[in-house]
């Protein structure tokens, strides 16, 4: 029997804005399956985003959703979690939203280890505004603002999150849909800041400028270059050149922010 996604979609919100072949829909379906697996009560689940094509995701879902300002998803989500620590908080958005204008909020949410799951859809570009380069656009790739090739080095979002202090960091791709819900489920169950980076595709503003003739080509690229982290130790640096590690990249237990803050309140009130 086909999976029933309709029960999770907010009535009247379809059709969605995404282009045919956009990877964000694959991520949304993965998130719906993960929320079902975790048995989340939609009235007690906040899904928060910034601005961008990826950030449109919460608007389609039947939960407590917030579509906020560009780059501010982690800041708003932090506010929700601090005010209502009993809620499950899920953040989502694009690489531009999360690591360019929102980079500061992203790293500090990681540093605090606040209990939320941030699903960051890295399609290597600013899709919504016509394909300007983001901090995740590969060096040499073409964007509307780098027509001769991007001269900038690239942010590795997962490494950035680990360095900043997130306590569960995992990566997968839109070409691995079953891994998306598996990792988001683990992220939701983790007590602390969980970053799930999903590499996905923007055929409209990235693919067509970068010699991907079709969405299938982009999916094949994601599939061919994904290397499970558990297998990476057996490969040489040369073999890993241009590949992206997938699966759980980092996991540790560390005190969670809201719990620590509650202790501060107790002390202040004593």
Ligand X SMILES: Cc1ncc(C[n+]2csc(CCOP(=O)(O)OP(=O)(O)O)c2C)c(N)n1
- CA–CA distance, 68 with 49 (Å, rounded to integer): 6
Residues 57-76 that bind ligand X (CB under 6 A): 70
Output the smallest distance, CB 98 to ligand X, in A. 7
Which of ligand X, ligand SF4, none lies near 19, with the C-beta cut-off 5 to 8 A by kind?
ligand SF4
Q: Which does 129 bind (CB under 5 to 8 A by kind): ligand SF4, ligand X, none?
A: ligand X
Which among 57, 67, 176, 164 has a CA at the least distance from the CA of 119?
57
Element (H, E) at 88: strand 88-94
CA–CA distances in Å: residue 117 to residues 52, 60, 182: 19, 18, 13
Q: Which of 8, 24, 48, 258 binds ligand SF4 (CB under 6 A)?
A: 24
Q: Residue 253 burial by CB count (10 A; 0-12/13-18/19+): exposed, middle or buried?
A: exposed
Helix 73-83 vs helix 257-269: crossing angle, to nearest 10 = 50
Residues 180, 203, 218, 245: which binds ligand SF4 (CB under 6 A)? Answer: 203
Interface with ligand SF4 by CB under 6 A: which range of 59-67, 121-129, 173-181, 246-254?
121-129
The answer to whether the peptide bond before residue 106 is cis (omega within 30 degrees of 0) is no
CA dihedral 228, 111, 78, 45 (to 10 degrees): 30
Dig out the tokens for 48 from the structure: 């928060």
List the beta strands (DSSP E) in 204-243.
226-228
Contact with ligand SF4 (CB under 6 A) among 8, 22, 26, 226: 22
Residue 207 found at the interface with ligand X (CB under 6 A): no
At 203, which helix (H) or strand (E)? none
26 binds ligand X (CB under 6 A): no
The only residue of 49, 88, 123, 150 in contact with ligand SF4, by rule CB under 6 A: 123
Give the integer Cα–Cα distance in Å for 90 and 77.
Answer: 8
Which of 205, 219, 246, 249 contacts ligand SF4 by CB under 6 A?
A: 205
- Shortest reach from residue 142's CB to ligand SF4, in Å: 15
- Of 123, 167, 204, 246, which lies in the binding site for ligand X, with binding defined by CB under 6 A? 123
Is 78 a binding residue for ligand SF4 by CB under 6 A? The answer is no
Residue (205 or 210) nearer to ligand SF4, CB: 205
Is residue 116 involved in binding ligand SF4 (CB under 6 A)? no
Instruction: Say if CB 92 and CB 119 are below 8 A apart.
Output: yes
Determine the interface stretch with ligand X among 4-12, 89-97, 239-247, 249-257 (rule: CB under 6 A): 89-97
Q: Which of ligand SF4, ligand X, none does residue 116 bind (CB under 5 to 8 Å by kind)? A: none
Residues in a beta bridge with 65: 47
Contact residues: ligand SF4, CB under 6 A = 18-19, 22, 24, 53, 123, 127-128, 202-205
């Amino acid at each position: 029997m086909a999976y029933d996604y309709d029960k999770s979609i907010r009535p009247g919100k379809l059709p969605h804005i995404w282009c045919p072949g956009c990877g964000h829909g694959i991520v949304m379906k993965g998130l719906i399956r993960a929320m079902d697996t975790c048995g989340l009560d939609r009235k007690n689940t906040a899904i928060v985003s910034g601005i961008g094509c990826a950030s449109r995701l919460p608007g389609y879902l039947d939960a407590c959703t917030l579509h906020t300002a560009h780059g501010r998803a982690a800041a708003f989500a932090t506010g929700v979690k601090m005010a209502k620590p009993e809620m499950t908080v899920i953040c989502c958005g694009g690489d531009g939203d999360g690591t360019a204008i929102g980079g500061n909020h992203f790293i500090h949410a990681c540093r605090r280890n606040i209990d939320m799951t941030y699903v960051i859809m890295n399609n290597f570009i600013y899709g919504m505004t016509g394909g300007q380069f983001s901090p995740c656009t590969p060096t040499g790739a073409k964007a509307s603002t780098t027509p001769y090739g991007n001269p900038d080095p690239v942010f590795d979002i997962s490494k950035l999150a680990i360095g900043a202090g997130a306590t569960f960091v995992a990566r997968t791709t839109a070409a691995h849909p079953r891994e998306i819900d598996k990792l988001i489920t683990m992220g939701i169950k983790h007590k602390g800041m969980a970053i799930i980076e999903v590499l996905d595709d923007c055929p409209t503003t990235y693919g067509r400028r970068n010699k991907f003739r079709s969405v299938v080509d982009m999916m094949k690229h994601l599939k061919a270059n994904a290397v499970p982290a558990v297998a990476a130790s057996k490969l040489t640096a040369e073999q890993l050149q241009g590949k992206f590690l997938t699966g759980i990249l980092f996991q540790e237990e560390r005190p969670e922010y809201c719990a620590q803050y509650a202790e501060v309140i107790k002390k202040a009130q004593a």
